[in-house]
Every structure is written in structure tokens, then in C-alpha cells.
């Protein structure tokens, strides 16, 4: 019983970790097909890849935001 519970929890963790990675889509910033995540900006939902998100965060840091 205990082994089944552990196996079930492990399987659920693996599945959930895979879904959190994002989906393949065309990035609304760079236009390339990459693994993207949905972000909301100015009331619009955007698909942004990790590379563009890093660039935007670096820009915000440089601007002191």
C-alpha cells in the first residue's frame, strides 16, 4: 500500500513538472518557434520564450524597475 502511494505521488510529480515547462509556440517578441510561456502585459496575453523573457528582465534591471 505504501509503495503504491509513493509510486503514484512520484508519477504525479513527473507529469506536473513536464507540464510546467511551457509549450512550443511562436514567440510574440522574436517570432521564432520555441518553448514559450503565456504572460499578460497591458491586458493582452502574450507567448514569450525564455530568451526574450531574460532580455526583458535584464532591460528592466538596467532601468531600475
Q: Is the CA virtual torsion 15, 19, 25, 30 positive or negative?
A: negative
In this structure, are residues 56 and 41 in contact, taking their beta carbons and an 8 Å threshold? no
Task: Using alpha carbons only, give the angle 53, 55, 61 rounded to the nearest 5 degrees.
Answer: 105
The Cα–Cα gap between 8 and 60 comes to: 42
Give me the tens of pLDDT residue by residue for the chain, a chain 65 residues long.
666 655 666 555 555 455 555 678 999 999 999 999 999 988 999 999 999 999 999 999 998 87
Amino acid at each position: 500500500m505504501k509503495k503504491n502511494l509513493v509510486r503514484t505521488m512520484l508519477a504525479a510529480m513527473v507529469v506536473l513538472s513536464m507540464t510546467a515547462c511551457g509549450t512550443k509556440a511562436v514567440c510574440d517578441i522574436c517570432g521564432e518557434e520555441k518553448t514559450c510561456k503565456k504572460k499578460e502585459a497591458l491586458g493582452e496575453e502574450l507567448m514569450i520564450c525564455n530568451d526574450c523573457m531574460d532580455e526583458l528582465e535584464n532591460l528592466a534591471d538596467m532601468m531600475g524597475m
